[in-house]
Amino acid sequence: MLGKEKPSEVDLVGYNSNSFNGGPTLYNLTYQYGYKDKWVLVNVAFRTLDNGSDEILGLNVYNPMDRSLQETHRFTLKDKGFIHYLFLAACTIVPLFILVSLVACARTKIKKRKWLWIIFIIFGFVQFSLNWSTGQVGYQILHCQLFGSGALAASIYAPWILSFSIPIGAILFWTKRKNLRHTEEVQSGRGDGIAPVTPPTPPDVRV
């Protein structure tokens, strides 16, 4: 697969090392070889022995690719489907909705536990994720996410992972906001529906 041609580019795209209880260190390296019309991934696993020599544990050469990993995992809208646009919209709308809810909560007169509402609103729950390159969708039920949205790529050789969570706190705040304001008004004596009683004016007594 590599052939006799000298590669025009060699990149270290993956690296991992482990050592257990003072034993030999295990290494796992992945290289990307770039040629004129193809790209090849090579993975090698080896360990360093006590005498200083290296012992190869595995060597794999994968099928050639027509594009580099950088190009394959580049963030682009070209040839993307409905699910990609859905995730992109959700990752934009959810944090904006949470931000608007935070401002509204801060400006709403809530006498008790306002700070708990703010913490509840700022997180999203039940995370959904999308591999932007492959279109693979995943989810995590027991997960909370700051501002309910995120995007991450481990490196320029790795795919972008977009994720969003359900803004449960923000949704509950808007459904209960009217009751929270009413409770505050009642407690302050302004929302009980009873007009304030004006004390009678004492009679004008002249002597």
The domain in which residue 49 lies consists of 9-72
- pLDDT band at residue 187 under the 50/70/90 scheme: low
98 contacts 147 by C-beta, under 8 angstroms: yes
Tell whether the model's pLDDT for residue 67 goes beyond 50. yes
Looking at the structure, tell me whether residues 105 and 66 fall in a common domain.
no
On whether both 67 and 111 belong to a single domain, the answer is no
| Averaged confidence pLDDT in the chain | 88
pLDDT digits (tens, 9 = 90+) for 98-148: 999 999 999 988 877 889 999 999 999 999 999 999 999 999 999 999 999
CB 44 within 8 A of CB 58: yes
39 shares its domain with 127: no
Q: What total number of domains does the chain contain?
A: 2
**Closest by Cα among 63, 58, 51, 64 to 24:** 51
Q: How many CA atoms lie within 13 A of 5 on its CB side?
A: 14
Residue 127 sits at the vertex; the CA angle it makes with 123 and 132, to the nearest 5 degrees, is 120
**Can you tell me the mean pLDDT for 75-92?**
95
Point out which residues pair with 18 in neighbouring strands.
26
Is 178 part of a structural domain of the chain? yes
Q: What is the pLDDT of residue 191?
A: 46
151 and 169 assigned to the same domain = yes
- Going through the chain in order, the beta strands assigned E by DSSP cover 9-18, 26-34, 39-48, 54-61, 123-131, 137-146, 149-152, 161-166
Residues 163, 98 share a domain: yes
pTM: 0.75
